[in-house]
């Protein structure tokens, strides 16, 4: 059977919401458990995020591809245009809307679970050229990883590989690897460990778009026919679902 667009959008909304809930909730828990050790807080936050991301990809991948990220969805559309694969422009717009609203809902849910105000805009400034460079690196690497796995027929290991990459990138990038415009927007709605000030969001999003361009450029050089595998991102969906991806 084909997978209807509303089902895929629900999967993207729910998956992104739960991802942000994991990011924000584990950050709050980490500061409660280790109030005087920022390094330990980051370790706890990164481990929880990496594990949650892998599990969520397994849960929702067969329905929507488990993008949870406008950058991944945009790359899927960009790379699949010539091959007639990947997302159509209309479906891309739906995915992005579901991801952004889901990310905001995830922050609200985490705030409420820890008895905080449902919405409390972050005051944590995250601006500066070094942080933006970190986002370019993190985002480009994520795009390259996901589509290289799909092109080489290894999309089934994406849950573990993507989770591991994001967990590692928490530590080797200066920005702690947001690498996701939707998650960046969502994290502005919580004034906690994982938050980002609304004024810092545009710089991060621009850096992530640059990272998208760098990642797609590297894919074009290393895997010229990567677009042919766009329907396998992130986890292969029902083979017949491809038919519903185009009007």
Mean pLDDT of 177-201: 98
Residue 232 lies in a domain: no
Q: Are 22 and 49 a contacting pair, CB within 8 Å?
A: yes
Mean pLDDT of 91-119: 98
* Number of folded domains that form the chain: 1
Mean pLDDT of 15-39: 97
Q: Which domain holds residue 101?
A: 5-224
Query: What global pTM score does this model have?
Result: 0.92
- What percent of the chain stands above pLDDT 70? 95
Residue 130 lies in a domain: yes
Condensed to tens digits (0 to 9), the pLDDT of residues 64-104 reads 999 999 999 999 999 888 777 889 999 999 999 999 999 99
Sign of CA dihedral 111, 25, 159, 139: positive
Q: How far is CA 41 from CA 30, 70, 194, in A?
A: 5, 27, 10
| Residue 237 pLDDT | 54
Average pLDDT, the chain: 92
Q: Are 231 and 237 a contacting pair, CB within 8 Å?
A: yes
Residue 241 lies in a domain: no
| Residue 81 pLDDT | 83
| Residue 243 pLDDT | 38
Q: Which residue has the tokens 């998208």?
A: 212
Residue 244 lies in a domain: no
| Residue 246 pLDDT | 40
| Residue 85 pLDDT | 82
Residue 36 lies in a domain: yes
CATH number at residue 98: 1.20.1080.10
| Residue 193 pLDDT | 97
Residue 12 lies in a domain: yes
Report which of residues 154 and 207 the model is more confident about.
Answer: 207
pLDDT greater than 60 at residue 238: no
| Residue 48 pLDDT | 98
Q: Are 200 and 127 a contacting pair, CB within 8 Å?
A: yes
Confidence of residue 5 (pLDDT cuts 50, 70, 90): very high
Mean pLDDT of 148-167: 93
Please state, in angstroms and rounded to a whole number, the distance separating the CA atoms of residues 60 and 54.
10
Please state, in angstroms and rounded to a whole number, the distance separating the CA atoms of residues 138 and 143.
9
In the DSSP assignment, the letter for residue 224 is T
Share of the chain residues as helix, strand and coil, in percent rounded to the nearest 5: 70, 0, 30
| Start-to-end C-alpha separation, the chain | 17
Please state, in angstroms and rounded to a whole number, the distance separating the CA atoms of residues 70 and 94.
10
Q: Which residue has the tokens 């092109």?
A: 151
Mean pLDDT of 107-126: 97
């Amino acid at each position: 059977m084909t997978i209807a667009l509303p089902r895929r959008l629900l999967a993207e909304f729910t998956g992104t919401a739960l991802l942000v809930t994991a990011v924000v909730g584990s950050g709050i828990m980490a500061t409660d458990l280790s109030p005087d050790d920022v390094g330990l807080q980051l370790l706890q936050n990164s481990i929880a995020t990496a594990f949650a991301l892998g599990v969520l990809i397994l849960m929702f991948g067969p329905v929507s591809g488990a993008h949870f990220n406008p950058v991944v969805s945009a790359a899927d559309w960009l790379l699949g245009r010539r091959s007639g694969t990947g997302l159509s422009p209309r479906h891309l717009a739906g995915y992005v809307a579901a991801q952004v609203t889901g990310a905001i809902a995830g922050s609200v849910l985490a705030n409420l679970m820890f008895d905080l105000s449902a919405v409390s805009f972050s005051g944590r400034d995250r601006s500066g050229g070094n942080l933006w460079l970190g986002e370019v690196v993190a985002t480009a690497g994520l795009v390259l990883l996901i589509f290289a796995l799909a092109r080489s027929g290894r999309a089934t290991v994406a849950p573990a590989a993507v989770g591991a990459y994001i967990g590692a990138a928490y530590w080797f990038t200066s920005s702690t690897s947001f690498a996701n415009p939707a998650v960046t927007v969502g994290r502005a709605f919580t004034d906690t460990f994982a938050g980002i000030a609304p004024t810092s969001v545009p710089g991060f999003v621009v850096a992530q778009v640059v990272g998208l361009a760098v990642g797609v450029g590297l894919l074009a050089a290393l895997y010229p026919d990567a677009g042919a595998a766009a329907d396998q991102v992130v986890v292969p969906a029902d083979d017949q679902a491809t038919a519903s991806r185009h009007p």
